């Protein structure tokens, strides 16, 4: 997990703290969830022509063929080297649901 230090206007910091308190979660949890939600909104879909799709499929197939196969030992080594992190203690499905509901209500009121 990484750390990010931000300089926020006091008014924004107070608003975020208030929103987090309303949902009975830490400010960190609220900010992480809000940023995750915003990043998710940035993903959009767009249609591609059949030609573009075929070109991408051909490029992907060529890439896969150039990579070759990984042995079980190679896969196991990569799995053994990965970082295992524990979720933040207070971030449970109930808290996530509260945050999702709050963001949804805010989106409805902004629309």
- Taking only the tens place, the pLDDT of each residue in 18-34 is 999 999 999 999 999 99
Q: Note whether 28 and 88 are within 8 A (CB).
A: yes
Let me know if residue 59 belongs to a domain. yes
Let me know if residue 90 belongs to a domain. no
What pLDDT was estimated at residue 86?
80
Q: Say how many domains are in the chain.
A: 1
Let me know if residue 38 belongs to a domain. yes
Let me know if residue 110 belongs to a domain. no
What pLDDT was estimated at residue 45?
66
Query: What tokens appear for 37 in the block?
Result: 């939600």
**More reliable by pLDDT, 68 or 30:** 30
What pLDDT was estimated at residue 22?
92
Q: What is the pTM of this model?
A: 0.40
Rounded CA separation 102/23 (Å): 8
Name the residue range of residue 23's domain: 8-79
Handedness of CA 25, 27, 31, 32 (dihedral sign): negative
Let me know if residue 73 belongs to a domain. yes
- Taking only the tens place, the pLDDT of each residue in 30-58 is 999 999 888 887 776 677 899 999 999 99
């Amino acid at each position: 997990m990484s750390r990010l230090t931000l300089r926020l206007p006091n008014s924004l910091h107070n608003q975020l703290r208030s929103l987090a308190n309303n949902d009975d979660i830490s400010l960190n949890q609220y900010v992480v969830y809000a940023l995750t939600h915003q990043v998710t909104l940035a993903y959009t879909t767009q249609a591609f022509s059949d030609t573009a799709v075929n070109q991408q499929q051909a490029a992907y197939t060529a890439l896969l063929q150039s990579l070759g196969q990984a042995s079980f030992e190679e896969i196991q080594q990569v799995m053994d080297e990965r970082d295992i992190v524990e979720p933040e203690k207070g971030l449970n499905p109930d808290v996530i649901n509260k945050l999702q509901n709050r963001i949804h209500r805010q989106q409805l009121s902004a629309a």
